[in-house]
Amino acid sequence: MVHRISGLALAIFLPLHFLALGLAIEGDAKLESFLRWSDQPLVKLAEGGLVFLLTVHLLGGLRVLAIENLPWTNGQKQLATFAAAISAIVAFIFLVRVF
Interatomic CA distance for residues 36 and 3, integer angstroms: 32
Alpha helices, DSSP H, located in the chain: 2-22, 28-37, 41-69, 76-98
Instruction: Between 79 and 98, name the residue whose CB sits nearer to another protein.
Output: 98
Taking CB under 8 A as the rule, does residue 54 contact another protein?
Answer: yes
Interatomic CA distance for residues 6 and 9, integer angstroms: 5
Taking CB under 8 A as the rule, does residue 1 contact another protein?
Answer: no
Q: What residues line the site for another protein (CB under 8 A)?
A: 4, 7-8, 10-11, 14-15, 17-19, 21-25, 27-29, 31-32, 35, 38-39, 47, 51, 54-55, 58, 61-62, 64-65, 68, 90, 93-94, 97-98
